[in-house]
Amino acid sequence: MNKIIKRFIMLFAVALFVFTAGVSAAQAASPHFKKNGSPVCTVTISGSTATTTCKAVITGLGGDDLLATVTVSGSAVYQCQNAGGNTAPGQNKVVIGPAVTATPVNSDAIKNGNLTLVTNPTVLSAPSTVSGSAAGCPNPNWTGVNPVVTVTSISLVIEQPPGTVIFTCSKSDPNGLTGSVALTC
C-alpha cells in the first residue's frame, strides 16, 4: 500500500511538472509580423483633413491586451485672402499635428497568438484660417484660407501588455505621404 501511494505521488508530481512546463511554453510570446503582414497605413486626404488607418497581421502574441497608437504629423499650405476676398497662393508650409489615436485590443480578440490589427482612424486637420504672416502672405492684413494638408510622418507603436512596447514602426517624407504607405519597424 505504501508503494502505491509513493508511486501515485511521484506520478502526480511528474504530471504536474509536465503540465506547468507546457503552460509556461504556451504563455511565452515571440511577436512578429506574418509574411506580407508588416504594417501598411492608408492615408486619404481631402482638403484640410487627412485620415490615416493602419493594418498589420501579427503572430506570436501573448495572452494580454494590446494597445496600438498611431501618431500623424504634417503641414498645410494656405491661399492668401485679402479684405476684398481676392486670393493668391501662400508661400509657407504651416506645421500641423501631431494627431494621436489609440486602438485598444482586448485579449479575447487574439486567437492562438494571431491578430489582424486595424487601427482606429487618426484624423489630422488644419485650422480653417491662419494669420497672413504664418501663411506667407504679402502683408499682415491678409489671411491664410483654404488649407491643403500634407501628411509628412506616421508612427505606429504596438504594446503588449499596454506599457510594454513590442514594435515601433514609422515612415516620414517631407514631400508627403499618401495612399498606401508601408512602415519600417
pLDDT tens digits for range 117-130: 999 999 999 999 99
Instruction: Report the pLDDT value the prediction gives residue 68, as an integer from 0 to 100.
Output: 98
Say which residue the cell 492562438 belongs to. Answer: 112
Which residues sit opposite 173 in a β-bridge? Answer: none
Q: Are residues 157 and 173 in the same domain?
A: yes
Q: Are residues 12 and 87 in the same domain?
A: no
CB neighbours (10 Å) of residue 104? 13
pLDDT tens digits for range 57-95: 999 999 999 999 999 999 999 999 999 999 998 899 999
Q: Are residues 115 and 159 in the same domain?
A: yes
Q: Are residues 42 and 16 in the same domain?
A: no
Q: Is 132 exposed, middle or buried (0-12, 13-18, 19+ CB in 10 A)?
A: buried
Strand ranges, E, within the chain:
32-33, 40-46, 49-59, 66-81, 87-105, 115-118, 122-125, 130-131, 143-159, 165-177, 179-182
Q: Are residues 13 and 56 in the same domain?
A: no
CA angle (34, 36, 37) in 5-degree steps = 50
Domain span including residue 133: 31-182
DSSP code per residue over 135-184: HT-SSTTSEEEEEEEEEEEEEEEEESSTTSEEEEEEEEEEEEE-EEEE-B
Q: Which helix (H) or strand (E) holds 35?
A: none
Percentage, residues of the chain above pLDDT 70: 85
Residue 3 binned pLDDT confidence (cut-offs 50, 70, 90): low
- The model's pTM: 0.82
What's the DSSP call for residue 114? B
pLDDT tens digits for range 37-63: 999 999 999 989 999 999 999 999 999
Q: What is the CATH number of the domain that holds 158?
A: 2.60.40
Q: Are 101 and 120 in contact (CB under 8 A)?
A: yes
Q: Are 37 and 31 in contact (CB under 8 A)?
A: no
- Number of domains making up the chain: 2
Q: Are residues 75 and 141 in the same domain?
A: yes
β 49-59/40-46 pair status:
antiparallel
